[in-house]
Amino acid sequence: MDTPHSYNQLRQVREEKLKKIQAITGEAYPSKVHKTHSLVEFVREFQSLDELTLQGIVKTIFIMGRVVSLRNQGKTIFLHLFEGGVKVQVYLRKDALTDKQWELMHLIDLGDFISVGGTLMRTKTGELTLRSSTISFLAKALLPLPEKWHGLQDIEIRYRQRYLDLISDEEVFKIFEQRSHLIAALRTYMNQLGYLEVETPMMHAIPGGATARPFISHHNALDIPLYLRIAPELFLKRLIIGGFTKVYEINRNFRNEGLSTRHNPEFTMMESYAAGEDLRDMMNLLEGLIRFLAQQVRGKLHLPWGETLIDYQSPFRRLTLREALVSVGELPSDKIDSHDFMKTLCTSIGVLETGKKSIGLLQFYAFEHLVESRLIQPTFITDYPVEVSPLTKLVSGSTSTVDRFELFIGGMELANAYSELNDPVDQMKRLEIQAKDRESGNEEAMQIDQEFVTAMEHGMPPAGGQGLGVDRLVMLLTNQASIRDVILFPLMRPLKPKDDFLEND
């Protein structure tokens, strides 16, 4: 591991080279670059051509990139440029460059940016190569790249200095390209179904739309507290009330909760609502969407998740929560409705304060502890207790079960959906129950949002709604075990002044 002292020495050497480059070129950091192709375009256009065809292209090709490997063989130099997730080899000969350009080549370090111009060739090994006849210096890297071009080994540095991770690991670069393609394909799918993409506030006067602890801010001019949104639900429903029939939003939610391999306080969701639809329609929407995205992003419908193969092609399994307790959680079917049995069970698996909980809540807690992690293949779980679903319509004929599902894949929740509650009187009663729960110490319980209830009192049509965790979907489709590996800049504890973030393996 390089020490801070050695880093300072390396920087001093590079600074001296920079002074010499400035003296040779007159401008070590030019603002304009002449290029005919990006490296991605270069590879796309010329990779498939044979040597004879390449020799027939007489025009000068100009490319630019970061130097990531360099082999000086005396009167010839081979180097690789990196940009956009691809590398291109460049061949330079002393007799093909000016004396100043050749001198410049000996001042270049790994990490520097240069542009080169020349003609096309293939080496003896068949590698597509640019035979350079001119070079220009673009920017000096005063600090070295990770050693040996094998990627960063220190997880902390990978997340904190993601730019180095992207430079040093082509697979990491590919993951984030796939993430971008997934979100673009998601938009395409929703737009083709007639959904309108909208934007709703990120700062709320009253946090709502989910049970979670919010981040609190303050607006100086109005002298009021504001909350980073935990969900866009209540504003999207206002749009359904206002006459939009299908809306969706892809954006960030913020929840002041713990960090884990599946939780980041700032995360991306796609939430949608459709007037005249219900829970079954939301199931069909999500199943079709996820199957489409798997095909678009990965090109197949059977994808690895750790040591397991996830089947996105077959119909997704559908179970009620009570059925899952029996078939997956292996609880006796004649016991799951017994309050005493479920209370004892929940206490034994670590659930606190079970004494005053309803049978529905006890079943829900047991499900979280015993079933969720076992739901590897795509599974819709339906019929949740009303106590954990304050914005959801009741199942017809029931007073304790709501028309809600959660989608589980890979042992984690991927999406949550409802037949939306549109009775303002019932909604107000449930929010009042939530408010009492909050007063008793539950900081995640919802507050009463009178403006939302007023909007509902103007009439809200039946509607189906769902929220899909985009980060977790990217995890699944790219086979990444941690959410931090699919978020470019995950939340990190700030470095203390004494910490040396430049120490790399």
Q: How far, CA to CA in Å, does 76 sit from each of 25, 94, 105, 248, 495?
A: 22, 6, 11, 57, 44
Q: Find the mean pLDDT for residues 154-178.
A: 92
Residue type, 422: N
Domain 4-145 has CATH 3.60.150.10: no
Where would I find the beta strands (DSSP E) of 195-322? 196-197, 203-204, 216-219, 224-228, 246-254, 266-275, 302-305, 308-311, 317-320
- For residues 492 and 199, give the distance between their C-alpha atoms in angstroms, rounded to a whole number: 28
DSSP alpha helix (H) spans, 202-358: 233-241, 279-298, 321-327, 339-348
132 φ/ψ angles, rounded to the nearest 5 degrees: -80, 140
pLDDT over 50 at 141, yes or no = yes
Q: How confident is the model at residue 149 (pLDDT cuts 50, 70, 90)?
A: very low
Q: How confident is the model at residue 220 (pLDDT cuts 50, 70, 90)?
A: very high
Q: How confident is the model at residue 7 (pLDDT cuts 50, 70, 90)?
A: confident
33 φ/ψ angles, rounded to the nearest 5 degrees: -125, 130
CA-nearest of 142, 139, 141 to 25 is: 139
Question: Could you tell me the two tokens for 270?
Answer: 């796609």
Q: What is the pTM of this model?
A: 0.91
Q: How confident is the model at residue 390 (pLDDT cuts 50, 70, 90)?
A: confident
Residues 6+ apart with CB under 8 A from 417: 279, 282, 283, 286, 404, 405, 406, 407, 464, 465, 466, 467
- For residues 142 and 269, give the distance between their C-alpha atoms in angstroms, rounded to a whole number: 39
pLDDT over 50 at 106, yes or no = yes
What pLDDT, on a 0 to 100 scale, did the predictor assign at position 367? 97
Residue 378 CA neighbour count, 13 Å, CB half: 23
Q: Give the full edge-to-edge strand order of the sheet including 196-197.
A: 196-197, 246-254, 266-275, 463-469, 412-419, 401-409, 379-385, 317-320
Tokens 């006067």, located at residue: 205
Q: How confident is the model at residue 148 (pLDDT cuts 50, 70, 90)?
A: low
Tally Cβ neighbours within 10 Å of residue 77. Answer: 21
What pLDDT, on a 0 to 100 scale, did the predictor assign at position 151? 54
- For residues 368 and 350, give the distance between their C-alpha atoms in angstroms, rounded to a whole number: 11
Residues 6+ apart with CB under 8 A from 272: 190, 195, 236, 246, 247, 248, 249, 285, 465, 466
pLDDT digits (tens, 9 = 90+) for 306-364: 999 999 999 999 999 999 999 999 999 999 999 999 999 999 999 877 777 899 999 99
Q: Find the mean pLDDT for residues 389-407.
A: 91
Residue type, 261: T
pLDDT digits (tens, 9 = 90+) for 19-56: 999 999 999 999 999 999 999 999 999 999 999 999 99
CATH class of 167-329+371-485: alpha beta
The reply to whether 167-329+371-485 shares the fold of 4-145 is: no
What ranges do the domains of the chain cover?
4-145, 167-329+371-485
Are the beta carbons of 386 and 400 closer than 8 angstroms? yes
Q: How confident is the model at residue 5 (pLDDT cuts 50, 70, 90)?
A: low
What pLDDT, on a 0 to 100 scale, did the predictor assign at position 45? 97
Q: Which residue has the higher pLDDT, 9 or 446?
A: 9
pLDDT digits (tens, 9 = 90+) for 50-95: 999 999 999 999 999 999 999 999 999 999 999 999 999 999 999 9
- For residues 114 and 8, give the distance between their C-alpha atoms in angstroms, rounded to a whole number: 24
Are the beta carbons of 226 and 217 closer than 8 angstroms? yes
Q: Find the mean pLDDT for residues 286-313.
A: 98
pLDDT over 80 at 431, yes or no = yes
What pLDDT, on a 0 to 100 scale, did the predictor assign at position 505? 41
pLDDT over 90 at 154, yes or no = no
What is the phi-psi region of residue 111: left when phi exceeds 0, alpha when psi lies from -120 to 50, beta otherwise? left
Within the chain, how many helices (H) and strands (E) appear? Answer: 15, 18
Cα angle 107, 112, 116; round to 5? 85
pLDDT digits (tens, 9 = 90+) for 473-500: 999 999 999 999 999 999 998 888 766 5
